[in-house]
């Protein structure tokens, strides 16, 4: 597959303990085109593509995001229970600006990872990662299983794809695909900023039955209401796909993104939300989108992304 790039050991470097105390010392390399794993594990797969961002008139550079996050993750300590259940499966790239082919390739690899019994941890790349990711999840699930999407983001990403896909269209594309399959579109977006979404996007969200929490309500002082929102969402779906757009964070925490703004949420409410999703027992897969090292400060955004990934590795009850 021309879009697939095998994992690189050079990305996994750091302080040496000699007994596997750091992630770079215990991560395995998994070349999906040649081998599989028999035991359950976490499989990291990059989506090195910012063609969707370019089409959406954003600032490019997120193509470098997956490798930057892996480098930061490599230096972090290995959770005691993790053992050898973490794998780097390389990256999906975008060839000749063919975004659709990249999304298709991503979907195939996500399905492969799930079919191994493992948990996909995807790193972007533009938020168009979501369409390929979700397509792979649906291909794995039974037709009678429902999957809901929780998106922590400043933007709905519900733009029309009439003129082609981009980083602003993935959830609109998902809604249309589910409509064709006569399946319900279950989408909860948390952290929505009014100044970052045109009226037509709010209108589209209403037409598609999207639930959302405005950024002004997405904070630790409002967890009682947020818990009710999440519990109601969990009751309506069999599985949950969690996607986190790093441009939803305030640029004080996440400057290296495709569309930075100081008016965003903070890491504490995201970690709280991740905990609720994990504790639901329904989390099937997770991705992080829009890490753009070209505009980062001292690797701050990549460090934030790595920290979020590490939280999943530490606090999961998935295996």
The pLDDT of residue 38 is 74
- The pTM score is 0.97
Q: What's the CA gap between 226 and 238, in Å, rounded?
A: 20
Structural domain spans, the chain? 4-315
Which residue ranges in the chain fall short of pLDDT 70? 317-319
Q: What's the CA gap between 219 and 114, in Å, rounded?
A: 33
The pLDDT of residue 318 is 52
The pLDDT of residue 84 is 76
Summarize the annotated binding site for Mn(2+) as residue ranges: 127, 153, 155, 157, 245, 247
CATH code: domain 4-315 is 3.40.800.10
Give the pairing of strands 4-5 and 86-93: antiparallel
The full DSSP string for 231-289 is HHHHHT-SEEEEEEEGGGB-TTT--SBSS--SS-B-HHHHHHHHHHHHHTT-EEEEEEE
- DSSP H helical segments within 79-222, as ranges? 99-115, 129-140, 170-180, 199-207
The pLDDT of residue 37 is 83
Q: 65-97, pLDDT tens digit by residue? A: 999 999 999 999 999 888 779 999 999 999 999
Q: 22-80, pLDDT tens digit by residue? A: 999 999 999 999 888 877 899 999 999 999 999 999 999 999 999 999 999 999 999 98
Summarize the annotated binding site as residue ranges: 127, 153, 155, 157, 245, 247
Q: What's the CA gap between 248 and 191, in Å, rounded?
A: 7
Give the pairing of strands 86-93 and 42-48: parallel
Q: What's the CA gap between 93 and 102, in Å, rounded?
A: 6
């Amino acid at each position: 597959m021309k879009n697939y790039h095998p994992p690189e050991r050079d990305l996994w470097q750091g302080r040496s303990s000699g007994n596997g105390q750091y992630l770079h010392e215990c991560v395995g390399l998994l070349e999906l085109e040649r081998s599989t794993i028999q035991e359950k594990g976490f499989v990291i797969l990059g989506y090195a593509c910012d063609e969707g961002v370019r089409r959406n008139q954003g600032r490019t550079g997120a193509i470098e995001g997956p490798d930057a996050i892996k480098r930061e993750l490599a230096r972090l300590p290995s959770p005691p229970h993790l053992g050898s259940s973490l794998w780097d499966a390389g990256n999906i790239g975008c060839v000749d600006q063919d975004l659709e082919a990249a999304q298709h390739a991503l979907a195939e690899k996500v399905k492969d990872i799930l079919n191994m019994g493992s948990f996909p941890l995807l790193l972007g790349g533009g938020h168009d990662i979501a369409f390929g990711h979700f397509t792979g999840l649906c291909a794995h699930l039974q037709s009678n299983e429902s999957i809901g999407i929780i998106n922590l983001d400043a933007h709905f990403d519900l733009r029309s794809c009439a003129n082609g896909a981009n980083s602003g269209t993935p959830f609109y594309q998902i809604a249309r695909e589910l409509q064709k399959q006569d399946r319900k579109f279950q989408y909860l977006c948390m952290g929505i900023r009014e100044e970052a979404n045109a009226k037509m996007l709010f209108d589209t969200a209403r037409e598609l039955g999207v639930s959302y929490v405005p950024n002004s309500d997405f904070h630790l002082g409002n967890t009682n209401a947020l818990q009710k929102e999440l519990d109601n969402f969990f009751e309506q779906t069999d599985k949950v796909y969690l996607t986190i757009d790093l441009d939803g964070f305030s640029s004080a925490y996440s400057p290296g993104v495709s569309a930075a703004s100081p008016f965003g949420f903070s890491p504490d409410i995201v970690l709280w939300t991740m905990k609720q999703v994990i504790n639901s027992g329904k989390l099937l897969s997770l991705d992080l989108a829009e890490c753009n090292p070209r505009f980062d400060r001292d690797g701050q955004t990549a460090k934030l992304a790595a920290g979020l990934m590490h939280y999943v590795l530490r606090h999961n009850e998935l295996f």
